[in-house]
Structures are given as C-alpha cells and as structure tokens.
Structure 1
Amino acid sequence: MAYTISTALAIYFVIWWVTLFLTLPFGVRSQQEAGEGVEGTDPGAPVMARMGRKLIWTTLLSAVFFAAGMAANNAGYLNIERLSKLMGVPL
C-alpha cells in the first residue's frame, strides 16, 4: 500500500514527537547534581538542557526510525493481514 505524502508526514510527525520525549532525559544535569542551585528554583531543574542538540538528534533518529518502518512496510512485514493475524484479530 502506497502512502500519500500527507499520511507519511503525519506518521513522521508522530515518530518525531515520540523520539523527542525519548531523547529529552539524556545529558541533563540537575542544579543539585551540578551544585549550582539558584535561590527559589527547584533543585531538580536542569542546568543546561541543550535543546538545539536534542532537536537535531531527534530529527536524525526519527528519520532512521521512519525509514526502517517504511522499509518494513514495503517488504510486507507491516501489512494489515499480517498484523491482524499476529494479534489474533479476524479480518
């Protein structure tokens, strides 16, 4: 089954957001861990989130995940008949 461009973009958008939440905790140090607590802030607040780097990694990883999913779909591993049989749901 061929996807339209809007369907492919919607799938990529969902994968991108899931990957963003997957990459957010990596490399974050809290104020308490760094010993740089600012008066009136939560000790668990990040010192430097490095969001630009996380957005780049998110885009790269989600492109890899999307390409792997599309390759599996084109190879026939993600068709509806196979997935419904795997889950025990009759068509």
Structure 2
Amino acid sequence: MQITSIIAIFGLIWVMCAFVMLPFGVKTHDEAGIVKVPGQADSAPANFRPWRVVLRATLLATVLTALFIANYDQGWIKLDDINIFPSPPER
C-alpha cells in the first residue's frame, strides 16, 4: 500500500472519529450549573475542549488505521467474508 493511500485512509478515519468523539465529555450550561446567556441554545456546550477531541480522534484513528493496514496486508477479513447477499443457487 502506498503512503499516499495510507494518509488518505487515515484522514477519512480521523474525520469519522472526530465526529464520533464530539459529544463525549461535553456538558450543557444546565448540567454544569452555569448561567446561560440570553438567547443561547439549551444544548450549547459549556466546556467544549477542541484539543481534547483532536487528541482522542487522533489516537483512535491511529489504532483503526493500523488495524485496517494490517488487515489489508494479512487478509484476515476479505470481501467474501462480509458479503451479505449470497450467490444465487445454481440450476
């Protein structure tokens, strides 16, 4: 596998992991006991830490990319293993 392919796969997995990690550890103003600004949405985060999301997404994406590359090289799970549509019976 080429390095450019690995970087592209890592980038795709990283974006997916970042979106998955966004809601973890975030509290609203009501949950944190902080007074809301007039006109503020009830669901607005009170303690959003973007660097924590970046760190968690990077760690998870690194592990998942390493597993993807290992599977690509070793062939643990192939396309035939996850085919949900079986071949039609022969006549």
TM-score of the superposed pair, with normalisation by structure 2: 0.81
Distance 2:41 2:82 in 1: 47
Q: State the AA in 2 paired with 1:51.
A: P
Distance 1:86 1:57 in 2: 29
The number of equivalent residue pairs is 85
Detail structure 1 runs of 4+ shifted over 4 Å in the superposition.
none
Query: Which structure's relative contact order is higher, taking Cα pairs within 8 Å and 6+ residues apart?
Result: 2
Identity %: 33
Q: State the AA in 2 paired with 1:24.
A: L
CA RMSD of aligned residues (A): 1.7
The residue number in structure 1 matching 2:33 is 35
Q: Unpaired runs of 5+ in structure 1?
A: none
Distance 1:89 1:9 in 2: 34
Q: Unpaired runs of 5+ in structure 2?
A: none
Distance 2:21 2:54 in 1: 9
